[in-house]
Amino acid sequence: MEVNRRDFLKIIGIGGATAAMAGCGAQPPESLIPYVVPPEEIIPGEATWYATVCRECPAGCGMLVKTMEGRAIKVEGNPDHPVNRGRLCARGQASLQGLYNPDRIRQPLRKGTDGSWGPTSWEEGEKALAARLAELKGRRGRVALVTPLVTGSLDRLIDEWLRAVGGGSRLRYEAVSHEPLREANRLAFGVAAVPFYDLEQAELILSFGADFLETWLSPVEHARQFGAMRTYRDGRMGRFTYIGPRLSLTGANADEWIAVRPGTEGVLALGMIHAILAEGLATALPASEEAALRRLVEGWTPAETAEQAGISPDKVRVLARAFARSRPSLAVADGKTSNGTDICLATTLLNYVAGNVGRTVRFGPTAAAGRTSPYREMRTLLQSMEKGEVSLVLLAGVNPAFTLPEGERFRKALEKVPLVVSFASFPDETAMASHLILPDHTFLEGWSDIEPWDGIQGLQQPTMRPLYETKALGDVLLSVARRMGLEQQLPWEDFPAYLKDQWKGLHRHSGPAEDFETFWARALQQGGLFRSVPLRPVRPNPEVFRHRFEAPRFAGESEGLTLIPYPSPIFYDGRTANRPWLQELPDALTQIVWDNWIDMHPADAKRLGVSEGELLRVQSPLGTLELPAHLSGGVRLGTAAVAVGQGHSAFGRYAEGRGANPLPLLPAEPETASGGQPWIATRVLVTRTGRRHLLASTTGSDRPHDRGIIQTVPLAEVQRLREPEKHPHLLQMYPEHSHPKHRWGMTIDLNACIGCGACVTACYAENNIPVMGKVQVAKGREMSWIRVQRVDEGAPDYPEHRFLPMLCQQCDNAPCESVCPVYATYHNQEGLNVQVYNRCVGTRYCSNNCPYKVRRFNWFMAEWPEPLHLQLNPDVTVRSMGVMEKCTFCVQRIQGGKLQAKVEGRAVRDGEIVPACAQTCPTRAIVFGDLKDLDSEVSRRSKDPRRYRVLEYLNTQPAITYLKKITAGPVEG
């Protein structure tokens, strides 16, 4: 690492200067209101926190950004924000590596006539754009502006601006979108929106392919709800069944996986409706509707639907009974096939029949995710570009050249457009195909407001001065308008002025109990304005009872495997593939890093003679690509799954040339009903190439080997759990450690852990953990201090994945301590197993003797390519080559918390000190605290009858207590 003393002083200098000048320089000064401390009190060495909103996906989680000396160094969830309540996913945690990405576009760029990029000035760039717009004024439809799902003030400004400059088409394009869900609700209730799903209240959740813990709608929010729903209380816990051809991470957290044929999820829902009506379980339904429904599902008997879905008819009946009897239950669906709308509609009706609408499915607070432009419009744009009907395309924060099935065609079509302006922050495929790049700030540097659900207005504020010569999209639009002489229509000086103006409107609405400045300051401090939205009752649209349900259609040869592309839980639609932390985060189900692969059923692989790691040629009618095989019982026989997100041809050093993008294999026709893009729409022929590909995985073995590392308890037996047997007192040669004031400890509830990996990335961010790259990980040299171990306890075609976050157990009887010849590791008075980097000579005996294998050795001098080093936490040492390191329980936070308490002259409060992993855990599986404080949550939890300690028989006396996962098995009905 290259932060030497000189660099450090430079950073301090810059930070100090930033504080002193309060943002002078190229940008107009802004007054930022920090979360805790007023701005004039920026003290070097003390963190300033800003509340803002995460923009890594459209979920709009609230975020707190820790800045030190003018640099954002850590992000955490905003506990006041109703979406995520203080938690973040791995992608959110890694957003800092977007800000500090070494491949960011650092200034406006212009493509020369020879196709090479050269720098230009903002003046020139804006002039060129204004001139073009002025030329096109009055010629309708010659301008297209594509943004991702933008909400709130910026959304309104873009619309106003587009109108002012002469009109054009406006698209809100998201590759991971919910058109079928929106259309299904329009058909069912006449409301074209995505409602609020309350997973927390549900007694039974059926997911028809909705990966709500990973990428569907609002993953962190759903994970929290799911965690609460799965909490064990008085012999009961919420149950969850996953239905779909691929066992996703969400599915891996279910009690049962029902591997239906692709596209038959809706059929199963219809069969369930049939069974519910037949058995008279739909109690709350008006007679007329019941009759109409009976007619609708007449042909869909359990026997018929089971036949189509490829499961047993009893399963349909059992599910139907359980679903109807659980009050309330909840069915969620993601329509990814050509009949996606029908799948969503069938599950919507199923919810209605079971009486869930208005309870766990709530209209009123609808999701912004339901307001994306249909994929069909992107195709229309593509076609008009090809016809030469578009003269100016503005692309902001989207990468259709990568995410569209016809990405390559889109890129070529851009060549037919005289001027393509991109506002991209990174040199992605689409930006590279443009003519002019006017780089936007990253979200950590700019203003905005985000409205993920009705009633939730998150405020996004800059957390530091822009790193480079970038400019916010809103500012550029207003500046261009000024150059065009449109001050009349758009009088605002810059986007923050517009934003504030919009919030003045909100202030007037909310009643003038306080003056605007107070209102504004409060909103900034708490991260936005959060109001509850009244429930809106809905009635079924009579038309819906005459709906004709369709079967899915697939392109390609019938003997091929059905291809299931899915958005990667780590890279979403590919937009986070350039974050090294995420590349090094193991995929939850395979533990593979820095790659993508094709999941194949072992029986299919055997039939085709394919072995693990062999490079395969995957061919659809629309294209061919090469991917290494990964054999997994987690896909239904006859299907093959590939994650979307890798396979970038441009996007910086970390993303380029890794794996392959399966989207170009897909047919481009939109779904007829909703206009969405069917992802599961083609069959592929898989042939062997005979070549092999190294898949770097962090797992040594997938199986448990009778070691009892991850323990479970059946639901029925939880109540009968007795106090775990005490091990006989073993004779000790040395006295036991005394912990006079504190004994830090942790509990990890395996029943809550969903294996998402947010803790891992949070730890990388907090503790300056270096990224090693694929080759080193393949050698077992990843540096993560916490890992989410995965073990498969199931049958070959029915995997049962279990997860266990493994970190230093801070043993009382630590095997690492006694073998260190130089006391580089020892037990401190607060129960921490401390590692003294300066004293370590690197014998590595401690790691050999650690049964948990949580110690990491610095094989090389770690590197942080500039400016990634600006993210380093100044409170944590950057370790040098040749020393051992490991989890410290975030000792810097413990120290900070104790100091704070001392300054305030009080004892440390429970929950005040939280390590980074526990802080971000979306399901609150990890709880940290003082075991000496008998009232602390960690003390209470560590007395749970489900408790156990990993490898207890070794008498290491760990400070971490695990709570056994509760296994429930299939629901009974």
Q: Contact positions toward other proteins, by CB under 8 A? A: 699-701, 703-707, 709, 776, 779-782, 787, 789-791, 806, 815, 818-823, 839-845, 847-849, 851-853, 856-861, 881-884, 951, 954
In the complex, the smallest distance separating the C-beta of residue 783 from other proteins, rounded to whole angstroms, is 10
Q: Which is nearer to other proteins, 555 or 850 (CB)?
A: 850
CB-nearer residue toward other proteins: 89 or 883? 883
- Least Å from the CB of residue 776 to other proteins: 7
The minimum distance between CB 629 and other proteins, in angstroms, equals 21
In a 13 Å sphere around the CA of 936, the CA atoms on its Cβ side amount to 25
Nearer to other proteins, 772 or 908 (CB): 772
Closest CB to other proteins among residues 198, 952: 952
- Residues in CB range of 51: below 8 A, 6 or more apart: 35, 62, 63, 64, 65, 78, 80, 459, 461, 524, 525, 526, 527, 528
Closest distance between other proteins and the C-beta of residue 109, in Å?
A: 37
- Residue 825 CB, shortest distance to other proteins, in Å, is 10
Q: How far is the CB of 779 from other proteins (least distance, A)?
A: 5
Distance CA 296, CA 542 (A): 11
Is the backbone of residue 591 left (phi > 0), alpha (psi -120 to 50) or beta? left
Helix, strand, coil percent content, the chain, rounded in steps of 5? 30, 20, 50
183: Cβ contacts below 8 Å, ≥ 6 apart: 192, 341, 344, 345, 673, 674, 675, 676
> Minimal distance in Å, beta carbon 211 to other proteins?
24
Give the nearest distance from C-beta 584 to other proteins in angstroms: 14
State the DSSP string of 269-294: HHHHHHHHHHTT--TTS-HHHHHHHH
Report the nearest approach of other proteins to the CB of residue 819 (Å). Answer: 5
* Chain centroid offset of residue 190 CA: 31
Query: Which amino acid, residue 491?
Result: P
Shortest distance (Å) from residue 759 CB to other proteins? 16
Largest CA distance in the chain: 91
591 or 761: whose CB is closer to other proteins? 591
Smaller CB distance to other proteins: residue 8 or 860? 860
With beta carbons less than 8 A apart as the criterion, state whether 187 and 544 touch.
yes
Closer by beta carbon to other proteins, 774 or else 898:
774
Q: What is the CA radius of gyration of the chain?
A: 28
Of 787, 714, 706, 726, the closest CA to residue 952 belongs to: 726
Which pair of structure tokens corresponds to residue 324?
């109807």
Give least dist CB 773 to other proteins, A: 11
Q: List the structure tokens of 825.
A: 């590791």
Tell me which DSSP letter residue 345 carries. H
User: Is the CB of residue 858 less than 8 Å from the CB of residue 900?
Assistant: no
Least CB distance to other proteins at residue 878 (A): 15
Which one, of 928, 757, 802, 966, lies nearest residue 231 by Cα?
A: 966
Sign of CA dihedral 812, 816, 822, 824: negative
DSSP string, 567-620: EBTTTBTTTTTT-HHHHTSPPTTT-B-S---EEE-HHHHHHHT--TTEEEEEEE
- Shortest Cβ 955–other proteins spacing (Å): 9
Please report how close the Cβ of residue 952 comes to other proteins at its closest, in angstroms.
12
Euclidean distance between CA atoms 103 and 867, whole angstroms: 9
Distance CA 445, CA 443 (A): 5
* Smaller CB separation from other proteins, 213 or 883: 883
CB closer to other proteins out of 522 and 703: 703
In which region does residue 885 sit, left (phi positive, over 0), alpha (psi from -120 to 50) or beta (all else)?
A: beta
Q: Give yes or no for a contact between 920 and 95, defined as CB atoms under 8 angstroms apart.
A: no
- End-to-end alpha carbon distance in the chain: 59
Q: Which helix (H) or strand (E) holds 563?
A: strand 561-567
Question: Minimal distance in Å, beta carbon 805 to other proteins?
Answer: 12
Shortest Å distance, C-beta 961 to other proteins = 17
CB closer to other proteins, 32 vs 951: 951
Strands of 256-258's sheet in order across: 256-258, 239-243, 204-208, 329-333
Report in angstroms how near the CB of residue 221 gets to other proteins at its nearest.
Answer: 30
Preceding peptide of 867 cis, ω within 30°? yes
What is d(CA 790, CA 796) in angstroms, rounded to the nearest whole number?
16
Our CB check for other proteins shows the closer of 772 and 914 to be 772
Q: State which residue, 210 or 806, has the beta carbon closest to other proteins.
A: 806
Q: Which is nearer to other proteins, 380 or 699 (CB)?
A: 699
What is the side-by-side order of every strand in the sheet holding 62-68?
48-53, 62-68, 71-77
The candidate with the shortest Cα–Cα distance to 256, out of 967, 775, 973, is 967
Nearer to other proteins, 236 or 839 (CB): 839
Token couple for 748: 């990890």
Nearer to other proteins (CB atom), residue 623 or residue 851:
851
d(CA 102, CA 391): 33
CB nearer other proteins, residue 527 or residue 586: 586
Smallest distance from the beta carbon of 594 to other proteins, in angstroms? 17
Comparison of 301 and 877: residue with beta carbon closer to other proteins: 877
Closest by CA to 499, choosing from 466, 450, 439, is: 450
Q: What is the DSSP letter of 329?
A: E
| Cβ-based nearer residue to other proteins, 112 or 700 | 700
